[in-house]
Amino acid sequence: MPSMHLSQLRRWIFQSPPVEWAVQKLRELLIGALRQGPIPQHVAFVMDGNRRFAKSHRIETVEGHNLGFEALARVLEVCYKSGVKVVTVYAFSIENFKRSKYEVDGLMDMAKVKLAQLLQHGDLLDRYGVSIRVLGQKELIKTDLLADIERATSMTSRNGDAILNVCFPYTSQDEITTAIRSTVADYSKPLPVHQRTFSESHIKQTLRSRHLSVAAEKIRERSRSPSPRGASDADDSTTSSSATLHPDSPPEDALFPEKEADGSDQANPNLYPDPESITSTVLNDHMYTAGLPPLELLIRTSGVERLSDFMLWQCHENTEIVFLKCLWPEFDLWQFLPVLVEWQWRRKKEEEQERGPRSAARSINATKSI
């Protein structure tokens, strides 16, 4: 009981106008100080701990999710005010569909309410030019909720300063599978003639076919005009050896089909992209996050230290992953600030290490020139 009264007293003090004004000024001062250093351009959050927060505070689960949404609104303002361009949040996993129908329907209804609340914060979205994108298997979403999602994305589509990615419903494995499927579909489409690709195997085949065509042309010339016996024998031996270097090679007509008047191949009109040209960059261009800055910081609350099938492709060697013990409704600037400061410190240290060898090399070159 005393602790509850103490908590209420603390809440009353911090909500008083003078203290609230002072805290707001301190927040702006700290965010301004953050902007003086490097800022991650893409930050992702696994918003975990709403249920446990509700259970520990003896409130309804719905109220815990509501407080989690308020935490998201606070964090978004801190991110966009400090200079973060892209924020990605894990809102709903495809694996959640394995739960009971009652719970899934409740989560969907809650998502609809949250989306409406997010649109109510239109001043926040418009102030920082935030556009909403929903990433995931949208065909799994109910029709009425899908209509609300499309309305939200349409309302913010003109905003181009920042992006809020809402992963719903989403898993990283599904995203990667979808990207591979899309890549295969693109590489199964024939290319125009002027876009014909050249691979190492194609170049080897072309050189070999030209060599064989020259040898075949010599044979046809000798058959039409007889030559002295000695020269003929020498040429025949050379031609024979050349023509039999690659007995399994396709004939000249197959390698060099006749051309139509417009330059298209008559025998093989369909030319396809070379599978050897598929790289990680090609696959990255087919991900949901194509065209966005690389993921630099991923944060998960509630003390759970796993990614839960979230942003597995986007995590790279320079992505910093942070696991915090606080629950998501408790997450605000005071938990976020130490993470950003540490990220800035690491980034500055890496930049200094990169500049070290360069400055040493410049000093050596300057000494040699003297």
Using the predicted structure, report yes or no on whether residue 185 has a pLDDT greater than 80: yes
Cis-peptide into 169, omega within 30 deg: yes
Q: What mean pLDDT is reported for the chain?
A: 81
Q: Over the stretch 299-314, which tens digit does the pLDDT of each residue have?
A: 999 999 999 999 999 9
User: Given this model, what pLDDT does residue 26 score?
Assistant: 84
Say which residue, 248 or 113, is predicted with more confidence.
113
Q: Over the stretch 217-228, which tens digit does the pLDDT of each residue have?
A: 777 777 766 555
Question: Could you tell me which residues are beta bridge partners of residue 236?
Answer: none
Determine the 3-state secondary structure of 93 from DSSP.
strand
Q: Which two tokens stand for residue 24?
A: 């707001």
Using the predicted structure, report yes or no on whether residue 333 has a pLDDT greater than 80: yes
| Interval 79-87 mean pLDDT | 96
Q: Cα(259)–Cα(196) distance, rounded to whole angstroms?
A: 15
321 CB-side CA count, 13 A: 14
Q: Cα(172)–Cα(133) distance, rounded to whole angstroms?
A: 16
Q: Cα(294)–Cα(290) distance, rounded to whole angstroms?
A: 9
% of the chain at pLDDT higher than 90: 47
Backbone angles phi, psi at 262, to 5 degrees: -85, 5
User: Given this model, what pLDDT does residue 311 score?
Assistant: 97
Q: Over the stretch 106-154, which tens digit does the pLDDT of each residue have?
A: 888 888 887 887 777 667 888 899 999 999 999 999 899 999 899 889 9
Q: Which two tokens stand for residue 227?
A: 């030559």
Q: Cα(62)–Cα(50) distance, rounded to whole angstroms?
A: 9
200-209, 247-256, 286-295, 331-340: range with lowest mean pLDDT:
247-256
Using the predicted structure, report yes or no on whether residue 268 has a pLDDT greater than 70: no
Q: Which two tokens stand for residue 160?
A: 């181009």
Q: Cα(105)–Cα(354) distance, rounded to whole angstroms?
A: 52
Say which residue, 15 or 244, is predicted with more confidence.
15
Q: Cα(183)–Cα(96) distance, rounded to whole angstroms?
A: 28
Q: Over the stretch 44-75, which tens digit does the pLDDT of each residue have?
A: 999 999 989 999 999 988 888 888 988 998 99
| Number of neighbours of residue 35 by Cβ within 10 angstroms | 11
Confidence of residue 234 (pLDDT cuts 50, 70, 90): very low
Q: 132: exposed, middle or buried (C-beta count within 10 Å: 0-12, 13-18, 19+)? A: buried
Q: Over the stretch 169-179, which tens digit does the pLDDT of each residue have?
A: 999 999 999 99
Q: Cα(141)–Cα(153) distance, rounded to whole angstroms?
A: 15
String of DSSP letters for 217-283: HHHHHHHHS---HHHHHHHHHHHHHHHTS-TTSPPHHHHSPPB-TTS-BSS---B---GGG--HHHH
Q: Which two tokens stand for residue 229?
A: 């016996």
